[in-house]
Homo-oligomer: A and B are copies of this chain.
Amino acid sequence: MRTSDRHLIRGFPIFRGVSDTLFERLVARAEIHDSQPGEVLLTEGDPPAFLFVLLNGLVEAYSSHAGVDATLSFIRPPGAFIVAAVWTGQVQLTSVRTVQTSRILRLPAEDVRAAIADDAAVASAIGLELAIRYRDIMRELKNQRMRSATERLANWLLLESEVAGSPTFRLGIGKGLLAARLGMAGEHLSRAFAILRDHGVTVAGNEVTVERERLADFARPSVLMDGQDI
């Protein structure tokens, strides 16, 4: 691994508070992998070979069962994925594929497990990442159980606009994928957008403009379901 890469990743939350010695030990056999959209990084049912850290890009956790496909979550930098599988040593529950061109750090699972067992700072930092992932999925489950598809879209738009820091922004992803992410059919997404026209949303291709107040009245966002940790 190049020194510049080493510098880049040293600052990642997954290494927060970790001593130089431990960092070197963790990174010794690590690899950085550049990945194109659509590349499958790991497959559900396999035992975890690496802990993955997303340096930049966007990645999708998904699953197939009995002919049904579902998108379960997106991971964005500086998040890590399959932390839980690495920690328990059990088989992975989801597959993961690249959505946007991404740069990914892979740490051999056994090295990670050894470091966790040895060092409180490592365990603490990776545990924090795991806790963030947990809360992410929990919010997703709540979102799924307690809101209609249109409400889910409304809250997604609200959050995107907030992250963009502007009422006008572009969807970073295709509408098909957005529909999957929100757990609805592509056709239904079109109709949901149509409904939201009455609640302060204007769509032009990939560009969306929202009147936040009006949309929020409809969406009823909640920090306990939207938002995101750190």
Residues of A within 8 A of B (CB): 44-45, 63, 65-66, 68, 70, 72, 83-85, 87-88, 90-91, 93-94, 116-124, 126-128, 130-135, 137-142, 144-147, 183, 220, 222-225, 229-230
Contact = CB atoms under 8 A, between A and B. Distances in A.
Contact of A70 (B116, B135, B142, B223): B142
A224 B93 CA distance: 5
The oligomer's copy count stands at 2
Given A70-B146, A119-B120, A145-B144, A131 B93 contact: no
Contacts of A130: 84, 87, 127, 130-131, 134
Contacts of A224: 44-45, 63, 65, 91, 93
A66 to B, nearest CB: 5
A141 B72 contact: yes
B146 A88 contact: no
Q: Which 9 A-B pairs have CB atoms at the shortest separation, nearest pair first?
A: A123-B123, A87-B131, A84-B131, A70-B145, A127-B127, A84-B134, A120-B120, A68-B146, A134-B134
Contacts of A145: 68, 70, 72, 144, 183
Nearest to A66: B220
A91 to B, nearest CB: 7
Contacts of A70: 142, 145-146
6 contacts: A65-B220, A65-B225, A85-B131, A88-B132, A117-B121, A144-B145
Contacts of A94: 138, 142
Given A88-B128, A141-B144, 7 more contacts: A45-B223, A68-B147, A72-B141, A84-B132, A88-B132, A90-B229, A120-B120
A65 B222 contact: yes
A90 B230 CA distance: 10
A135 B88 contact: yes
Among A116, A130, A138, A229, max chain B CB count under 10 A is at A138
